């Protein structure tokens, strides 16, 4: 089913009058993550993270880039929050750096905690909703030295961290997300080594995932006790897999792709069990699961965050898995990812049919990288404008199909450290000159701001 052509019109941010995007209670926001923007990795008692170690190792990150300075947000946070006001958004999604707020003995680091208190306090002054992610991949290195997510104890140390921050920020946070994209932490970090800590073993990946999800489930009741008025949830990245042909083998391969990318995380959370098909892909990799673990992992959620970026076309590998077959002639981003908004809509509708206990959804990340340059003081990111419009239309289509979607966050507010790709790939709606730290509003941001100003004016106008 193609998207409604009336939605994909020449005006990038004027959706139809019946679109959910016009509703004042539908949140539109922007998102960032601590390691990608903060810098100041050695200041005010912050400890090393696995990404400090990983990016300092030659060959791990493009061009040898690290997060040592990033966007210098730790020192420029006040002016960066002013960018949110310029953008006219309703909400801001950020993450807390675990190594910045606790020492190795689990004691609070007050200077780090005070940084987030000041930041979130300013967001509340601005009237913005605050969506706070506790873990966006920057595990303290001392915990990795003890086994990281392969060590069950890390899940309990995460609960201690969640306890500290939810007590310190109680009443200031609108929504807590325990983890961001456990698939990336488990598979890219422990399965194929593309991300920190750089280990590569399928058995490691499934065990790391179990401990990540256990950390989530252990933290949820702590968050409920300390900050009862806030929403509690988790953020999962999801992938659309499509078969290269109509053959039974290729259709099965596409199914297995989505099992590995989606059901691996969502089934334990919403069905309290791992999908059996996962271990068809990786025979003999079943994690060690203790009595009561799946009940803990399946703790009720107030919301589910969904991150979506692209579609993957696959075929059978002739054995028990799949292999990617890139489609020719399709539109791609700077990352090489196919732009496929229908995939987001189809996944959302599919999840709504599959999971009886599916909680309300926020699209917590959606965006694209392009090779943006400042020309005469402006950045014309026309592909991003088209990308955002088409994906917002896909979200609207899913809402009209009955999916309970409450908001959408653009990834990202700022160009930033894009993990193993360093600073080459630019996802922000504000351009960052990394030499001068100058921020420049891109054309996409200008149009988002214009639309939201119009929406907010209409929403507050007298009947």
pLDDT of 222-260, one tens digit each?
999 999 999 999 999 999 999 999 999 999 999 999 999
Read off φ and ψ for residue 94, nearest 5 degrees.
-135, 170
Question: What does the pLDDT look like over 79-132, one tens digit per residue?
Answer: 999 999 999 999 999 999 999 999 999 999 999 999 999 999 999 999 999 999
- Give the single-character DSSP code of 261: I
Residue 72 Cα to chain centre, angstroms: 21
CA distance 413 to 415: 7
Task: Please tell me the predicted confidence (pLDDT) of residue 459.
Answer: 74
Tokens of 198: 């750089």
What are the phi and psi torsion angles at 406 (to 5°)? -105, -15
Does some domain include residue 429?
Answer: yes
Which pLDDT belongs to residue 17? 87
| pLDDT tens digits for range 37-74 | 999 999 999 999 999 999 999 999 999 999 999 999 99
- φ/ψ of residue 234, rounded to 5: -145, 160
Q: Are strands 91-95 and 303-316 parallel, antiparallel or unpaired?
A: unpaired
69-84 residues labelled b (16+ CB within 10 A) or e (exposed): bbbbbbebbeebbebb
pLDDT of residue 11: 52
Catalytic-residue membership of 104: no
pLDDT at 2 over 90: no
Catalytic residue among 68, 365, 418, 453: 365
The pLDDT tens digits of the residues spanning 251-307 come to 999 999 999 999 999 999 999 999 999 999 999 999 999 999 999 999 999 999 999
Alpha-carbon gap, residue 33 to 92, rounded angstroms: 11
Please tell me whether residue 402 adopts helix, strand or coil conformation. Answer: coil
> Do the domain assignments include residue 14?
no
Task: Please tell me the predicted confidence (pLDDT) of residue 58.
Answer: 97
Residue 1 lies in a domain: no
- Work out the average pLDDT over 19-46: 97
Paired sense of beta strands 430-433 and 91-95, if any: unpaired
Give the pLDDT score at 461.
Answer: 65
8 lies in a domain?
no
At residue 306, the pLDDT reads: 99
Question: What's 390's domain CATH number?
Answer: 3.20.20.80
**Mean pLDDT to the nearest integer, 11-28:** 86
Question: What is the domain count for the chain?
Answer: 1
* Residue showing tokens 């949140």: 27
pLDDT in tens, 341-400: 999 999 999 999 999 999 999 999 999 999 999 999 999 999 999 999 999 999 999 999
Segments forming the whole domain that contains residue 72: 20-458
Q: How far apart are CA 157 and CA 103, in angstroms?
A: 12
β 405-411/322-324 pair status:
unpaired
Residue 299 belongs to some domain of the structure: yes
Residue 3, in any domain of the structure: no
Within a domain: 80: yes
pTM over 0.85: yes
For 46, 109, 289, 343, 411, the CA distances from 97, given in Å and listed in that order, are: 9, 12, 28, 32, 18
How far apart CA 410 and CA 364 sit, in angstroms, is 8
Q: Is residue 25 part of a domain?
A: yes
């Amino acid at each position: 089913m193609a998207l409604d052509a009336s939605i994909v019109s020449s005006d990038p941010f004027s959706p139809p009058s019946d679109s959910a995007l016009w509703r004042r209670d539908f949140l539109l926001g922007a998102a960032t993550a601590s390691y990608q923007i903060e810098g100041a990795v050695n200041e005010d008692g912050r400890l090393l993270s696995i990404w400090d170690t990983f990016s300092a190792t030659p060959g791990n990150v493009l061009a040898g880039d690290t997060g040592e300075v990033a966007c210098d947000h730790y020192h420029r946070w006040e002016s960066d929050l002013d960018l949110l006001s310029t953008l006219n958004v309703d909400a801001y999604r950020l993450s807390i750096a675990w190594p910045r707020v606790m020492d190795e003995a689990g004691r609070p680091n007050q200077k780090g905690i005070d940084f987030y208190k000041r930041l979130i306090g300013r967001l509340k002054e601005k009237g913005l909703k605050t969506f706070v992610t506790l873990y966006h991949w920057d595990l303290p290195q001392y915990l990795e030295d003890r086994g990281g997510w392969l060590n069950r104890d890390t899940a309990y140390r995460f609960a201690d961290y969640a306890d500290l921050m939810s007590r310190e920020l109680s009443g200031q946070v609108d929504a807590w997300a325990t983890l961001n994209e456990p698939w990336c932490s488990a598979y890219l970090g422990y399965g194929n080594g593309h991300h920190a800590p750089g280990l590569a073993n399928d058995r490691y990946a499934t065990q790391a995932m179990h401990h990540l999800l256990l950390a989530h489930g252990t933290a949820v009741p702590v968050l409920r006790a300390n900050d009862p008025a806030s929403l509690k949830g988790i953020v999962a990245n999801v992938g659309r897999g499509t078969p290269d042909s109509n053959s039974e083998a290729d259709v099965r391969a596409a199914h297995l792709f989505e099992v590995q990318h989606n059901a691996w995380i969502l089934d334990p959370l919403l069905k309290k069990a791992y999908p059996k098909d996962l271990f068809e892909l990786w025979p003999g990799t079943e994690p060690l699961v203790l009595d009561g673990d799946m009940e803990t992992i399946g703790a009720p959620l107030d919301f589910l965050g969904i991150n979506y970026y692209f579609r993957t076309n696959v075929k059978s590998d002739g054995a028990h898995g799949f292999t990617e077959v890139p489609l020719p002639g399709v539109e791609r981003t700077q990352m090489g990812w196919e732009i496929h908004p229908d995939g987001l809509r189809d996944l959302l509708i599919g999840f709504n049919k599959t999971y009886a206990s599916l909680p309300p959804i926020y699209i917590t990340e959606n965006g694209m990288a392009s090779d943006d340059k400042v020309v005469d003081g402006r950045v014309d990111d026309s592909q991003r404008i088209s990308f955002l419009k088409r994906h917002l239309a896909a979200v609207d289509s899913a809402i009209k199909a009955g999916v309970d979607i409450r908001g959408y966050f653009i990834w990202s507010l700022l160009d930033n450290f894009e993990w193993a790709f360093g600073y080459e790939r630019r996802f922000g709606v504000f351009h960052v000159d990394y030499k001068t730290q100058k921020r420049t509003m891109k054309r996409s941001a200008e149009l988002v701001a214009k639309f939201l100003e119009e929406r907010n004016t209409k929403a507050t106008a007298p009947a």
